Structure 1
Amino acid sequence: MSPPTAAGILSGLLLCCALCLRPPLCGAGENTRINKISFSGNRVSEGTLRAAIPVKEGGELTAEALENTRTALYSMRLFKSVTISTSPAGEGLADIRIEARDGWVIFPMPFASSGSGGSSAGAFLFSKNLFKRAETVSLMGFSGESGSSAAVFFEKGGRSLALMHSDRGADEGLYTDGAYSSAQGMRGSGGRDTLSEYGNLASLYERRQRTNSIHSGLPLLKRGDTPVLSGRLSYTQERNAYGDALRELRGGGRSSRVSLELNAGSAKDRGDDMGVVVGLGLADLEKRLRKRTKTENRWRGGLGLSNAGAWTGADRAFSRLSLSLENSTRWGEDNRFSLRLAAAASANAPENQLPATGRDTGLMGQYSREFRAPRMTGFSASFSKPLSRSKRGTLQASVFAETAFDPADPAATAQKGAGLSLYYRFWRFPLPLGFSQTYSFRDRNFQFSGAVGGRF
């Protein structure tokens, strides 16, 4: 081995000096405390941002805290980009600088949908961060073959308030096997000709339903900055009128009620809203497109209770209880497999308030007929897979199989089916474009729907 040269010795000394004199990295660990947090690039108020992030001045600065801060800002679905940096502020202290570029938007949009369930059209007006509080305000109204509805929605920091009104009327049919069907939104003029396509009718009658409701939601318990328990309190003023004396006796009049819902476990992924049209909420787009390095498993559960009586303005006293449980596994490029169990039970409920084999039991598909009973249980399994993902959008396909029935008489009340959906969603436009199709093993028919500017 040749002896070291003078130049080599000098280079080594200079390198050692540089390493010794280099300022310490101001980042995670080593008992570093947060001296000051500053913000730039944002329109939203600083108070709103400080309330949203988990790190506080005086707290410990760790890599996990910085990552949780980034995640909290992403979850607001407000920012075009997020940059977090640190700098030394004295012995054992560090400053955090957060550059979060946001904006505001007011966006009007018409929408339309059409399919076996009928057609409808309307418009909504959406605004975000208009008042610099990261709030969302939207107005919606639509009209279709079966009636009209309108809604006002406000949300900020997980707290929400919604006011809704609807006035709808349609023919309903009761079949000889106990199923029922509504011509609400169906193509054609409704009536016996339309409903008799799905089975042998025992009776046909007209139903008109008017509802006004108010819903208020808020997070009840958080783990870190993530809600693990949330609640919603609702009041629904409902009135039904029938063109059949027997149906009027069984479910006509006022069915106003108060409802309480509790939801626990992993929160549902917060979807993008119309703010993405101007780039709001896309700060984590690169992260979304990244392939998952490990499998994620999430549980969710819900419990709901409704009660009606003279104290709510109802003509008769009744109650309903609902329960849901869902497990989802995600891996790779957002592949997802989900299992869901749902159950509902009622006491003294009129015919039109009985649990049914549809939304009450968590079924994903569309069916021409449903069954009602004092108790209902539903099971479903689904798998979804992105067929194509890019910075422009994602093409997603999903398949599902499901069933719902009355445990006391499953053979007579079971509705079961399978289906698929295919849609494309632009990142800069949050509503999917595509179609879905359901096949009912009970009724042996297909139900098809397509939408532009509507969710599946």
Structure 2
Amino acid sequence: MKKLIFLFSLFVWAGAPVGAQPMQQVVGEVRASAARMSGKTLQKRFLLKPGDPFTPALFDKAQDDLHDLRVFKKLEFSTQEKNGKTDIFINAQDGYYIFPLAFASGGKKNAAALSLAAGNLFKQGESTFVFAGGSDDGFTAMAGLSLGDDFISLGFTKLNFDQRFYQNGWSNTFGVFSTTDDEDEYHSSLLGALHTRKEQLALTYMHRFSRTLRAFVRPEYVRYTYSPRALDNGSHNQITLGLRLSDDVRKGVNMGALSGYGLTDKKKSLQNLPRPRTGYAANVFYTAGGSWTGSDYEISKLGLEAAGLLEFKNRHMLVAEIRAQDAFKAPFSDRVLSSELLSGLGRYDRQIRGSRGAGAAVSFIYYLLRNETGLLSLAPFYELAYVYAGSRYRPHSGAGAALTYKLWRFPFPFGINYTRNLQDGSDTVGFVFGGKF
């Protein structure tokens, strides 16, 4: 009998999995309450659902997603483990905001703009905006709505400006709020100029399939007119399709800050991280046009973008970016611009236009000050792009730094930017207002 008991015990021991791990926790109930939103709406906007795997990392990301709605004055989370499941409780105090903003500038190029942003007016955690601005070179207007997994915007731009061409493939940058400093600084290398008129109407729709994956479509009406010499006058109507995969740890704009909303993760943001963390973003898009879109020209362009971010324990960040575009078929106006291949950190008054190109950039965001009032950062950067123009690749590179301050109770960071164009040795100092921080 003892022998049989011994054999049975040996059988049970041998059949047990070596190093067996406890059963993975899953999400049980998710209960939520808020002042304006319904509990069901808040549950829908929360990343974790009943039956999903539960880990501290996923729970932290789900909390960040709710914080990023920026419509809460209070947002509290608690959990309770029961029978291998983790119940989650969310207690929120949400409100709504309307934030108007206007600015004007003078000098060589007069400009003014007005924007109006609103959040949670319809108790869905949505955000809406309207923007309109103009200058001596034209005007632009845009309106957008972000609700749940969907974003839609409609924008119209009309430009009326001189496009100047210089030696070595350079031409001036253009836009409603672009600089015109090139006209005087590079007059000795000017080859010629064309008066340009551009009309553009663009509708963008984006859908989020998961926390990290999005897709968008953008049909555009575009028309160019050049004088006195015609280049590619006529219709350039086109459609762009794209995919975006991202897990970006940087904070976006908080339009409700002035009213005290969206600061629920302020204390957390001021604390050091337990360990470094990473973020990433990758985009791919394809633009096409032809007679089927009402275009007078065949258009075919492919673009790729990728960025990686390392956030250290003390919140400093190292960011690396790469971009590439190839205009397989494109008239002059739709070719690749070197400014589209750079990071956007530098300020330039000239750019290079060509059939294809690639660029890379690296920057380091160092926080000089982090306190209850705001964040002061210094961000040195270097960026380089090569564009194929005039039978060879031409470089466009720059280096500099941005010194910016972000008040917790104001939506945008502001400061100054210094950029040195490493090709022609020119220096640009500009005012920074807005962008990721």
TM-score higher than 0.5 here?
A: yes
- After superposition, the C-alpha distances for 1:281-325 in whole angstroms (9 at most, x for unaligned) are 211111111112222223322111000111111111121111112
Name the CA distance, whole Å, in 1 between partners of 2:427 and 2:266: 37
Q: CA deviation at 1:175?
A: 1.5
Task: Indicate yes or no: 2:216 matched with 1:236.
Answer: no
Corresponding residue to 2:164 among 160, 170, 173: 173
Q: CA deviation at 1:94?
A: 7.8
| Unpaired stretches in structure 2, ≥5 consecutive residues | 1-21
User: Which residue is 1:203 aligned to?
Assistant: 192
User: Which residue is 2:41 aligned to?
Assistant: 48
- After superposition, the C-alpha distances for 1:102-130 in whole angstroms (9 at most, x for unaligned) are 111112221346799x5522111111000
Task: Indicate yes or no: 2:417 matched with 1:436.
Answer: yes
Corresponding residue to 1:104 among 96, 99, 124: 96
Name the CA distance, whole Å, in 2 between partners of 1:340 and 1:293: 26
Residues 209 and 293 (structure 1 numbering): CA distance in 2 closer, same or farther, change over 3 Å?
A: same
Q: CA deviation at 1:58?
A: 6.8
- After superposition, the C-alpha distances for 1:131-168 in whole angstroms (9 at most, x for unaligned) are 00000011111111211110001001241000001111
Which amino acid in the other structure matches residue 416 of structure 1?
S
- After superposition, the C-alpha distances for 1:336-380 in whole angstroms (9 at most, x for unaligned) are 112211111112311111101102444531222211111111111
Identity of aligned residues (%): 25
Name the CA distance, whole Å, in 1 between partners of 2:374 and 2:162: 41
User: Which residue is 1:39 aligned to?
Assistant: 32
Kept in 1, the 8 Å contact 2:33–2:42? The answer is no
- After superposition, the C-alpha distances for 1:380-430 in whole angstroms (9 at most, x for unaligned) are 111111111111111111111111113687976211111111111111111
- After superposition, the C-alpha distances for 1:47-91 in whole angstroms (9 at most, x for unaligned) are 2211122444577877666545433422333222222335699x8
Task: Indicate yes or no: 2:141 matched with 1:150.
Answer: yes
Name the CA distance, whole Å, in 1 between partners of 2:151 and 2:243: 14
Name the CA distance, whole Å, in 2 between partners of 1:76 and 1:163: 22
Name the CA distance, whole Å, in 2 between partners of 1:147 and 1:131: 34
For residues 389-428 of structure 1, the aligned pairs below 5 Å read 389-406=370-387, 413-428=394-409
Which amino acid in the other structure matches residue 163 of structure 1?
L
User: Which residue is 2:4 aligned to?
Assistant: none
Name the CA distance, whole Å, in 1 between partners of 2:429 and 2:403: 12
Corresponding residue to 2:258 among 277, 282, 285: 277
Q: CA deviation at 1:455?
A: 7.2
Q: How many residues align?
A: 415
User: Which residue is 1:261 aligned to?
Assistant: 242
The structure whose Rg is larger is 1
Q: Secondary structure at the match of 2:205?
A: strand
| Unpaired stretches in structure 1, ≥5 consecutive residues | 1-28
TM-score normalised over the length of structure 1: 0.82
Residues 47 and 119 (structure 1 numbering): CA distance in 2 closer, same or farther, change over 3 Å?
A: farther
Residues 134 and 368 (structure 1 numbering): CA distance in 2 closer, same or farther, change over 3 Å?
A: same
- After superposition, the C-alpha distances for 1:210-259 in whole angstroms (9 at most, x for unaligned) are 11110001113x3xxx22x21110011111111132xx2x3221111000
Could you say what the CA RMSD is over the residues aligned between the two structures, in angstroms?
A: 3.0
Task: Indicate yes or no: 2:309 matched with 1:317.
Answer: no
Name the CA distance, whole Å, in 2 between partners of 1:69 and 1:378: 34
User: Which residue is 2:131 aligned to?
Assistant: 140
Structure 1 window deviating more from structure 2 (102-111 vs 63-72): it is: 63-72
User: Which residue is 1:80 aligned to?
Assistant: 73
Name the CA distance, whole Å, in 2 between partners of 1:68 and 1:380: 27
Residues 360 and 93 (structure 1 numbering): CA distance in 2 closer, same or farther, change over 3 Å?
A: closer
Name the CA distance, whole Å, in 2 between partners of 1:153 and 1:36: 34
